Structure 1
Amino acid sequence: MYILNREAFKEFNMAYKVIIDAGHGGADFGATYNGRKEKDDNLDLALAVGNILSQNGIDVVYTRTTDVYQTPFEKAALANEAGADFFISFHRNSSPKSNQYEGVETLVYDKSGEKLDMAENINGALGELGFREIGVKARPGLVVLRRTKMPAVLIETGFLNTDADNERFDTQFSEIAQAISSAILGTLDEETLENQTATQDDFYRVQTGSFRNREHANNMLYTLQAQGYPAFLLYEDGLFKVQVGAYKNLSNAVKMEQALRKSGYSTWIVSGPASY
C-alpha cells in the first residue's frame, strides 16, 4: 500500500494542452480608452497566465506572443491543429459610456460541460479579488467559441472604459493572473480526478487514523460505523489503520474524504490491494 501524494496530481497536468489566446492585436486595437488599448492588456495577462500554467506542467500554446493580428478563424484553426484540450481567450469589456458598467464575465458557446465549470471557476476567482461578477453567458456566435473543437472560454477581465476596473487590473495584476491560473488548474484537476482510476488489483481508500493500540482504533472504527460510514480495520506494519471505502475511481474517494473532513476527521487517501 502507498499514500497518494496530492502533489503528484501535477504530473497528470502534462497530459493537458491549453491554447492561450490574447484577443485582438496588430491593427485591431480592440476597445480603447484614454490611450489604453485592449490588445495590450490582453497580451500582458495572457502571457502571465500562460507562464504560471507552464510552471505547473501544462503544455501551453499561444496564438500570439507579440503585437500581431490573426483572424478568429485562424485562431480556431491553430487550436484545432494543435489538438488542444482547452482554449482560453483573454479580452476586456467595453460599454457605450465611460464608467457605465464594471465587472467580469466569461463567455462560452453554451452553458454545459467542462467549459461551463471552468468559466464559473474563473468568474468566482476574479470575484474574490473584488471584481463584480456579471456571470457566465452563452455566445454561440463567436468564432473562437463556435469553431474550436475543444472546450473554449472567453474571459472579459473588467471594462476597459471603467476606471475602477482598470485600477483593479493594474494594481492587482499578479493576483488576477494567479486567480485565473488557479481556476484553470483547479478545473483540470477535477477532470483528472474524474478520469483517474486505480490499477486492476488496487483500490483508493480514505484513512482516518493509524494506531498502535487496538482499542483506540476500535473506538474510531465503531464511531465511524455508527455514523453510517463504510469503515473497516486493517492491520499493517504493526499498526491498526482505520479506513473507509474502497474505490476504483479516485474522484469517489475524494468525495468520501471531503465528507469525512466535514465531519471533523483528519484524512488522507491511500491506495493498494483491497486485502483486509
Structure 2
Amino acid sequence: MAYKIVLDAGHGGEDPGAVYKERKEKDDNLKLALAVGKLLEENGVDVVYTRTTDVYQTPFEKARFANEAGADYFISFHRNSGEEPGKYNGVEVLVYDKKGIKYQMAENIVGALGELGFKELGVKERPGLVVLRRTKMPALLIETGFINSEKDNQLFDEKFHEVARSIADAILGTLDEETVETPLYYRVQTGAFRKRENADRMLYQLTDQGFPAFILKENDLYKVQTGAYLQLGNAVNMEQRLRDEGYSTVIVTK
C-alpha cells in the first residue's frame, strides 16, 4: 500500500518558535522535515509538506491542509525549550491519545532517537493541540530535543543525518506493521497487573525516576513496560538500570 504523509515543519515566517542565542526553532524544524521527507520519498512514500520555505501558517491551516490532502498520517516537527537554558534535555512525541497506530509510531520514534543518545522523555497526550485535535488522520508532534540544551543541540547537529534516518526508519517500520512484516522492538517489562491502580502506581514511580515507561493493556492485564529498542543490547542496558533500582524485569518483544 502506498502511503501519503504530511510533514509539517513547525512555526515559520514571523513565528520563529523557540529561540536560543542565534538559533531559531523554525529553521531546525524545516531542515529536519525536509531530510526525513527525502528518505521517506526514497522508500515509496508520497510526502506532502505544509511548508518548504520560511512562511507562516496557523495550526488550523496546517490541519485543514492535511485533511484536504487526504493524508494517511500527519507528522509535525518541533524542538522543545525549557525555562532555564541547560536545565532540561531529551526527546518526546506528543499525540492526541495513547491509542492505535499513532501511539506505536510515537513510541518507535522515541526509542529510535534514544538509541542515538537523546534522553527518552516518552510519549505524552496533548489533546488540546490543534494539529493533533483537528487532523482527521493519525497525527504526531515530535519534540527533537531542547533547543536551549547544548547537549541536545550537539546531538542534533553532529548526528543530524542519523536523527533523520532514525525517524524515517521508525515511521517506515511502523507502516510495515500494517502490511507485511512487523519490526522487532525490545522492551523491558517491570510488572503485569490485573488492577489498573497497581500498574499506575508502578508507572508513576518509574516516570518519577526518569524512566520512559508506559502501560500496555493486553487481555486482562495491565503491563508496565519501558523503552522500545531495535537493538537487544540497548534493552539489556535498560534492564540493568532498572534492576539496579530494585525492579524485577523481563525483556519482551510486545
Q: Same fold (TM over 0.5)?
A: yes
Equivalent in 167, 173, 178 of residue 191 of structure 1: 178
Structure 2 residues not aligned, in runs of 5+: 182-254
Distance between the aligned counterparts of 1:104 and 1:43, measured in 2?
17
State which of 16, 20, 32 in structure 2 corresponds to 1:45.
32
Regions of 4+ moved over 3 Å: none
Unaligned runs of 5+ in 1: 1-11, 195-276
Q: CA offsets, 1:10-49, max 9 Å, x none?
A: xx3xx20000000000000000001100000000000000
Q: Does 1:111 align with 2:94?
A: no
- Whether 1:61 aligns to 2:48 is yes
1:242 maps to none
Kindly indicate whether residue 66 of structure 2 is the aligned counterpart of residue 79 of structure 1: yes
Matched, 1:25 2:12: yes
Q: Distance in 2 between matches of 1:47 and 1:82?
A: 18
Q: Specify the alignment match of 1:125 in structure 2.
A: 112
**In 2, Cα distance between equivalents of 1:108 and 1:189:** 20
Indicate the structure (1 or 2) with the bigger Cα radius of gyration: 1
- Shift of residue 192, structure 1, vs aligned partner: 1.4
* TM-score, normalised via structure 2 length: 0.71
Q: Distance in 1 between matches of 2:170 and 2:74?
A: 14
Partner SS state of residue 154, structure 1? strand
Secondary structure of the structure 2 residue equivalent to 1:61: strand
Q: Is 1:140 aligned with 2:110? A: no
Q: Secondary structure at 2:61's aligned position in 1?
A: helix
Q: Distance in 1 between matches of 2:31 and 2:179?
A: 29
Alignment counterpart, residue 86 of structure 2, candidates 89, 99, 105: 99
Q: Which residue is equivalent to 1:158?
A: 145
| Partners of 1:143 and 1:193 in 2: CA distance | 33
RMSD over aligned Cα, in angstroms? Answer: 1.1
Figure out how many residues of one structure are paired with residues of the other and give that number.
182
**Quick one: percent identity of the two aligned structures?**
72
